[in-house]
Amino acid sequence: QVQLVESGGGLVQAGGSLRLSCAASGSTSGIIVMNWYRQAPGKQRELVAGISRSGTINYADSAKGRFTISRDNAKNTVWLQMSSLRPQDTAVYLCYAKGGPSLSWNEYWGQGTQVTVSS
């Protein structure tokens, strides 16, 4: 099993920056992909950015050029550096991990961290 704990959310003014962290514990060697999702009130959960164990990265169009995802496999941590934040970035940001065959391809979610961007 894998446990995910996010941190780093908070209140920031538009144009500001925040760095989110997601620390994984448990059977972390079985994780093949770690993603950041977000969910705003009344909206569907959406993928923000993802990074594979080998380092392949993808971003949502809304994140390109403003957000950077990175990963330290040795520390079992993934970060999301967010810059030029906009009020529409306000959401609960959730860390997600996809397990490989050793984890029976299970999916894991953190509890989320609130990001609020004021105008």
Residue count of the chain, please give it: 119
Whole-Å CA distances, 82 to 45, 46, 116: 18, 16, 12
Residue at token pair 């004021």:
118
Which residue type is seen at 21?
S
Whole-Å CA distances, 13 to 9, 10, 23, 60, 66: 13, 10, 26, 22, 15
Residue at token pair 């957000």:
67
pLDDT of residue 73: 87
**pLDDT tens, residue order, the chain (119 aa):** 999 999 999 999 999 999 999 999 999 999 999 999 999 999 999 999 999 988 999 999 999 999 999 999 889 999 999 999 999 999 999 999 999 999 999 999 999 999 999 99
Q: How far apart are CA 26 and CA 103, in angstroms?
A: 11
